Structures are given as C-alpha cells and as structure tokens.
Amino acid sequence: PFILHELIAEVCKKRVVGFDLVEVTPNYDSGATALQASRTIFETLCCIERNRTAPSFTG
C-alpha cells in the first residue's frame, strides 16, 4: 500500500480530472479489500485537492 500511495502522490502532481477504482470484492476477505479501497480513494482525493489549491510558481 505504501508504494501505491507514493505513486498516487506522483500522479496527482499533474492535472488530474478523474480516477477510477475497480474490482473491489470484500465478500472474499475480512473487509481488508474495502478498507484499502476506501483509503486509496481518500488519499487520491486529498492529493488532488492539495495539488489543485497549491500555488503555482511556474512563469
């Protein structure tokens, strides 16, 4: 999961307009899949918002 969140942070440095999370099947485990999916969605939304509102220093 840590590598995934590093990847999300790098991707979100670009102008992200949407994302999609597929194949979550918590029926087959103890809820770990749903927990990781929700954490990934939350992290992605936070990164998008953080980079959207950050000041731009490009000229």
Distance CA 59, CA 52 (A): 17
Residue carrying the six token digits 């990164």: 47
pLDDT score at 31: 84
Sequential pLDDT tens for the chain (59 residues): 679 889 988 988 888 888 888 888 877 888 888 898 899 999 999 988 888 776 665 54
Q: Report the distance separating Cα 40 and Cα 35, nearest Å.
A: 9
Q: Please give the pLDDT value at position 51.
A: 83
Q: pTM for the whole thing?
A: 0.72
Q: Give the integer Cα–Cα distance in Å for 27 and 23.
A: 12
User: Where are the chain's structural domains?
Assistant: 2-53
Alpha carbons 6 and 29: distance in angstroms, whole number:
25
